[in-house]
Chain A
Amino acid sequence: MRDYKRAKELFKETLDTRYYFDSVSAEVVKHKIENAIEDRDASLIFLLGDPGVGKSYILRLISSRLEKESLSIFIDHPFFDKRDLFKILFEAKNIEFNADMNFNGLKDMLFDLYRGDRHTIFIDEAQLLNEDQFELLRIMSDTSIFQFVLSMHKEEGGAILEKKQFRSRAKVVVEYAGLEHSEVYRYIQSTLLLDNHGEISQMFSLKDAKKISKYSDGNFRTIKRFVYSLLTLLEYAKVNGIERYDKINNCILQMSALDIGVIDDK
């Protein structure tokens, strides 16, 4: 029995770290970041990659594993004011944030609060930070109390790294590439089999996975959207008795690609 409706839910956009797919690139990135975090000299770690490759997922995964050992704070959006970062840090220690205090006073108080141990702060979409915020991060990282792991888009990240405050500093830069063609097949199979969709997983061949990978260019997010759309179309065909789409063929793959907009027929 092919339950397309339930199967496609597995490919929805989610940051649930239970469904971590250990692709080669993901494992390499995870390993590098974990080593850099353990290394006391690296106070700034940059994770660069195209949108949708899985940077946020990896950051969350590492952050959740680190929480057990030491303080790890994950900020999924860049703070809009310098004080916002201080507020998050104070609240992480369950201390009330005094908004009336001046900036330097807050800073000194914060450093005293966190002194003695190393703390890792994960900031996602760091390419949205402005100059002042980057300067603050630099000052905080120089104290060796705080270690920052910043994920940003590859293009913008490259330009930020060229800035003078980061160029001269010791830092770790990790690049996150997309999935390989063979990994797409393994990902689809493993994800479907996780939820006992064996019959649906058998519909996918290596050739189909290669086509999906070609359409999505190895981007994780796009692959998920593609498979989600594909299962939606198969579900519709099954419900309406359209027998020619009883199995995966070139036409239905193209229809999925057109649906999510990775190809254009104009």
Chain B
Amino acid sequence: MTNRTFEELEARCKAMNSKRYIKISLALLVFFVLIAFLCMKFFYNPKPQKINKVVVTSNTKVLNQDIEMPKEVKVEEVKRETAIQKVVKTKRATNQKVAKQTVAKQSIQKKSEKIEKERVEEKTDSKKEIKREQGVDKKSPDNSGEVYDTLFLKPNIFVPRDGSDANIKKRRDRGSSKKRSGAKKGDEEIQRALFEDERLLLKRNRANEGFDTTLRLSKYYYKISEYQKAIYWLKKANKYRPSSFEPWLIYAKIKIKQNKRDDAIKAVEAFLSYFDSEDARKFLIKIKRK
């Protein structure tokens, strides 16, 4: 064994070891990085938060909506205010919004209570009217051959003497409750009331959708002659309670209003083929009479 051979062997051995240590440390590093990445991915996964942007312009007031400001205004606002001031402002604005919302909610609640009372009165009135009108000739006053259904829950439909559609629509849009109360209200107010009714009904439906809420919506749209929407909600109500005749009844009435008596008869007959109902049979007899 020479000196050179020994030193050479020693050097080769050290080089081999250092290579091995580097490989091991690299492998460990990759392993730990992978573990850290996996941990971060699985355990730390923040959900993106929605930020309500506040409209800065002073004139318009928007409740609970995400609206973007015009770009030019935004840039100016950013330049003027510091970040902290912005945060304070947005907080104040949100607080104001919340306060306004609660006030609006309270007013809506009061209105809905009024509407409920009026509806109950309406029902009792309509029942009385139905009883009164059972013996009345179903034919139209001008003997045109068209039949207006007197079995509707809302017996407010009547034919004006001049026969104009516009007047019919106006009277329909007024709503029975408003007319009955005797109070004269402007169109705008009626529209707002109807809008709020619709909003309230939709809100209630969203909160807890079921047979009652969907049926109420269908009746509401039937009242205001929005027959497509009414049919949409009738179908939903039917899904919740297929054995109930009420949705079918309203559907048949809509068809009669649309001068599609045959469709109405078919619908009732279809219901009777699935379920046995005294009311359905009586109604069928009535609509088959001319």
Contacts and interface: CB of A to CB of B under 8 A. Distances in A.
Interface string A233-262: 101110010000000000100110011000
Interface residues of B, number: 13
B13 interface: yes
A265 B1 contact: no
Contact of B16 (A236, A240, A265): A265
Contact of A258 (B1, B3, B13, B19): B13
Contacts of B12: 255, 258, 265
A258 B9 contact: yes
Given A233-B6, A236-B6, A251 B13 contact: yes
B15 A236 contact: no
B10 interface: yes
Contacts of B16: 254, 258, 263, 265
B64 interface: no
Nearest to A244: B10
A232 interface: yes
Contact of B1 (A235, A251, A263): A235
Interface string B1-33: 101011001101111110100000000000000
Contacts, number: 34
Contacts of B14: 251
A233 B9 contact: yes
A91 B14 CA distance: 58
A255 B9 contact: yes
Interface in B236-289: none
B13 A255 contact: yes
Contacts of A263: 16
Interface residues of A, number: 13
Contacts of A232: 1
Contacts of A258: 9, 12-13, 16
A235 B1 CA distance: 9
B3 A240 contact: yes
A263 B14 CA distance: 14
Given A236-B1, A258-B12, A265-B12, A251 B17 contact: yes
Contacts of B17: 251, 254
Interface of B is mostly: helix
B10 A251 contact: yes
Nearest to B3: A240
A251 B9 CA distance: 10
Interface in B166-213: none
A265 B15 contact: yes
A258 B16 CA distance: 10
A22 B141 CA distance: 129
B14 to A, nearest CB: 8
Contacts of A235: 1
Contact of A233 (B1, B15, B19): B1
Nearest to A236: B1
A259 B13 CA distance: 10
Contacts of B19: 265
B103 to A, nearest CB: 83
A233 B8 CA distance: 12
A240 B6 CA distance: 11
B128 to A, nearest CB: 106
A240 B10 CA distance: 14
Interface string A199-237: 000000000000000000000000000000000110111
A172 B78 CA distance: 98
A255 B8 CA distance: 9
Contacts of B1: 232-233, 235-236
A235 B2 CA distance: 11
Most buried by B among A235, A251, A255: A255
Interface string A59-82: 000000000000000000000000
10 contacts: A233-B9, A235-B1, A236-B1, A236-B6, A251-B10, A254-B17, A258-B13, A259-B5, A265-B16, A265-B19
The list of the 4 closest CB pairs from A to B, nearest first, reads: A255-B9, A236-B1, A265-B16, A254-B13
Interface of B: 1, 3, 5-6, 9-10, 12-17, 19
Given A233-B1, A265-B16, 16 more contacts: A235-B1, A240-B3, A251-B10, A251-B13, A251-B17, A254-B13, A254-B16, A254-B17, A255-B6, A255-B9, A258-B9, A258-B12, A259-B5, A265-B12, A265-B13, A265-B19
